[in-house]
Amino acid sequence: MTKFFGTDGVRGLANAGKMTPTRVMHLGQVAGHFFNKTENKRASVVIGKDTRLSGDMIEAALVAGLASVGVDVKLAGVIPTSGVSLMTQTLRADFGIMITASHNAFPDNGIKIFGADGCKLSDVAEANLEALLLENSDRLVPSANLGRTTQHTDLQARYIEICKSAFPKGLRLDGMKIVIDGANGAAHQTAPATFWELGADTVIPIGVSPTGDNINAGCGSTATDLLSQQVLAHGADVGVALDGDADRLIMCDEKGQIIDGDQLLGLIGTSWLAQGRLSKPGVVATVMSNLGLERYLQTQDIALLRTQVGDRHVAARMREDGYNLGGEQSGHLLMTEYSPTGDGTMAALQVLAEIKRQGRAASEVLSVFDPVPQVLKNIRFTGDTPMGHRDLQVGIKTAEAELGASGRVLVRASGTEPLIRVMAEGDDPVKVEAVTDALIETIRGIVS
């Protein structure tokens, strides 16, 4: 992992550390220099943001840095992450930048960078940017060559139309009552509009009143109690919860039961296989996906290929090996025929289409496999990561031996927060809970 970039771009406390205006401006200069390599052609960039209070400050710092090295900036305003990816392609920009900390609370913010193809940067590209950040060379252009900045107020509408085009022709959402939780984030306007324009009888929007400090606060894909409550209260057919930048989703059936990304990936995978839409008989997921998903897909003659955590790693494996469907348990679903990156709204539309095709209740459609008991716990640390500590390595081996062939253990450092994440799963829930707690205690002893 690079020092500046984490699992998903740059992320941290706004106006501190990596996310001060000075350091963000420097990143803008470096990114502009990195992508501005063609002579006699001014590089251009699309910049979007979520609804965080710090978004305007970071946007201004980026614009200053980019313009100072001769990059033309196209401001998209508040728009989902996938919208930036798609508009980078549509407007033929050289790269794109999304200002967001995704599912993090509002004090944090971050920066995701996309290439001209709309894909997130590779590890190699991020390492190259990291090296440039350590240099102090002057890259400022003459006054006459400064970049120009333009506001593009129509990009939300263009994004909505792209989302609608992902819904199968001949199908409509007529007769459906849908609760949509926008997490007070980037899709608070676009997601409800998309479902309404596709014919839903009733769209009940929640989490659509951003104040700058309430993104992901008690709402969205990481706080789904509100979604369940509202689905039950309104007698809705289904609920959809997005995160702050709307690149992931969690769903809820009419009984209030939460449906995670693994279930949705299994549903779309088998549906696409039946329709002949899978480019290969397989889907790409991460090491976090439930063992139950893997077993279920095997019964459908669909392979599950695992990558390290992070949707960009899933996307990279999909591109390398020619798969067109992948995702994460957390709700990132990637469908390359629609977008180079995860899009919660478009993924929800694929699920809603399957509910319409089957003509059954969401509870009968969305739970496609029985998950293996899985426990995930986090422990915060300060200072150096305890990952390489001998006691932890011994503890991991002990846990693996305890679960044997019927389970898995995964211990990893978060790429976005100073946390160690401990996951264990297996057929014996008591044993899974016990080995997870033992590992947590081992880590606590190391970091205390």
Residues with a catalytic annotation lie at: 102
What tokens were used for 393? Answer: 């390595």
Which among 341, 298, 299 has a CA at the least distance from the CA of 89?
341
Q: Are 262 and 289 in contact (CB under 8 A)?
A: yes
Which among 261, 270, 272 has a CA at the least distance from the CA of 333?
261
What tokens were used for 168? Answer: 């199968």
- Strand 95-99's sheet: what is its strand order? 10-13, 108-115, 95-99, 44-49, 72-78, 149-151
What tokens were used for 111? Answer: 């920066």
Q: Are 30 and 132 in contact (CB under 8 A)?
A: yes
Beta bridge partners of 47: 75, 97
**Which uninterrupted H or E stretch holds 333?**
strand 333-335
The backbone region for 332, taken as left when phi is positive above 0, alpha when psi lies in -120 to 50, beta otherwise, is beta
Q: Parallel, antiparallel, or unpaired for β 407-413 and 419-426?
A: antiparallel
